[in-house]
């Protein structure tokens, strides 16, 4: 069985990977996320994913494969990261209501001892229905928005807001598993099945 270190504390990413034929270990990165508003969204997420992987790589030894990821929501060229408060989350959801936005997830897979490293990203377009203020308040009361880019979780109650998506569903959750699988299989000789 192949051992992969997930450089993330995200329960969603962990859940995605636990169902596959790998030996999964979680090691959270202590990296403080800093977003440069002047960079393109895909550059932001790939840079953050790479930095997280390097942070974890500095703490371990051996022939380990490290997987890290970072997700952001972009609305009208504005990066919406994780909300800083309930009021901030409400502001984000009001912006997204009745509009489309993009979700970018960058990921990094590396095997330091062998000098292998792949950094890539996925992009998905999400169309939100018009959400009334009562619905937004009810959603915020669930506290599902906490620790979620764009203040919602598509895999939870946030799915009620989604009219349709164009692209990878798993990308919106936080890990574009289709692309991750291709890289693991083609570059690291690891099959998830």
Taking the CB of residue 182, how many other CB atoms lie within 10 A of it? Answer: 13
- Evaluate whether 22 touches 9 at the Cβ level (below 8 Å): no
Q: Strands 2-6 and 22-26, how do they pair? A: parallel
Distance CA 137, CA 157 (A): 12
Does the annotation count 137 as an active-site position?
Answer: no
Q: Which of 23, 36, 63, 70 is catalytic?
A: 70
Distances (CA, A) of 74 to 22, 104, 184: 32, 8, 27
Distance CA 65, CA 67 (A): 7
Distance CA 78, CA 70 (A): 16
Q: Which residues are catalytic?
A: 70
């Amino acid at each position: 069985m192949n051992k992969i270190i997930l450089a993330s504390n995200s329960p969603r990413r962990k859940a995605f990977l636990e169902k596959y034929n790998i030996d999964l270990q979680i090691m959270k990165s202590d990296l403080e996320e800093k977003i440069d508003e002047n960079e393109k969204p895909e550059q932001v997420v790939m840079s953050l994913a790479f930095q997280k992987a390097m942070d974890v790589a500095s703490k371990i030894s051996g022939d380990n494969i490290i997987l890290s990821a970072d997700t952001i929501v972009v609305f009208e060229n504005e990066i919406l990261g994780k909300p800083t408060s309930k009021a901030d989350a409400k502001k984000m959801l009001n912006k997204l209501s009745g509009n489309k936005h993009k979700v970018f997830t960058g990921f990094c897979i590396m095997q330091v001892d062998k000098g292998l490293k792949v950094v890539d990203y996925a992009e998905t377009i999400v169309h939100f229905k018009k959400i009334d203020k009562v619905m937004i308040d009810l959603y915020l009361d669930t506290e599902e928005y906490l620790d979620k880019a764009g203040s919602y979780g598509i895999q939870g109650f946030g799915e009620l807001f989604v009219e349709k998506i164009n692209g990878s569903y798993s990308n919106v959750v936080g890990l574009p598993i289709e692309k991750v699988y291709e890289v693991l299989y083609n570059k690291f000789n690891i099959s998830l099945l």
